[in-house]
Amino acid sequence: MADAKPQYTRLTRSRGRSAFGIVTTARCSLWLGDDHLLAVEINGYSENYKRFHFRDIQAVLIRHTKHRLVWALIYGGLALFFAAIAFGPGIFAMAVIFGPVAGLALLGLALNLAAGPTCATQLRTAVQIEDLPSLARIRKMRKILARLRPLIAEAQGQLSAAELPARIREWRQSQSPGTASAEPGMTPRPTYVIDDPAAPPRIL
């Protein structure tokens, strides 16, 4: 019997990979599978697929951006410009032509403000950090993250409050230089210490 095809649920609409989605032709979207996330990138006639299994996801990185403010200035400027042409002194045809254009700019401004603050989202695994351009709004990101959190916890297991301090100490010790003991018969790895950023490091 052939294996059943995985079922996917769309999490985000397709969005451009560039800063404002108007320069590049690549469009990205995010889908939810049974045990993984699927990032789909469509560029012209080609499609690229990247799967991120819940057990491999280490972190979701969110950084606030100013794209919302930039778009507000763009839409607001266009609305004022076309409104001045439409309702300024002139022929009636100018109002008929440019009045709806000013209304569309105002609609874009309202939708941009209603969508909430913007962000840049990245997904980190043990081998890569992947940009998720379709997750560009804080409100949408929080909604999807609330949906993914229990799925990731189920796949990876969840630490109790008592286990968390011990795991943090283990992680700090593994990151500290010179804490790992050398194996028998092997020379310990040298530790580098930088006293002055302008001077070369000392070897201990």
Q: Kindly write down the DSSP assignment for every residue of 23-87, as one continuous string.
A: S---EEEEEE-SSEEEEEEEETTEEEEEEEEGGGEEEEEEEE-SHHHHHHHHHHHHHHHHHHHHH
Mean pLDDT of 125-148: 89
pTM value?
A: 0.65
Tell me the per-residue pLDDT of 79-130, one tens digit each, with 9 for 90 and over. Answer: 999 888 877 776 777 777 888 888 999 999 999 999 999 999 999 988 888 8
| CA–CA separation, 203 and 117 (whole Å) | 47
Determine the residue type at 49.
Answer: Y
Q: Does the pLDDT of residue 154 top 50, yes or no? A: yes
Query: Around Cβ 141, how many Cβ atoms within 10 Å?
Result: 21
- Residue 88 pLDDT: 73
In the numeric block, which tokens belong to residue 42?
């469509």
| CA–CA separation, 123 and 141 (whole Å) | 12
**With pLDDT > 90 as the criterion, what percentage of the chain qualifies?**
21
Q: Does the pLDDT of residue 173 top 80, yes or no? A: no
| CA–CA separation, 9 and 197 (whole Å) | 50
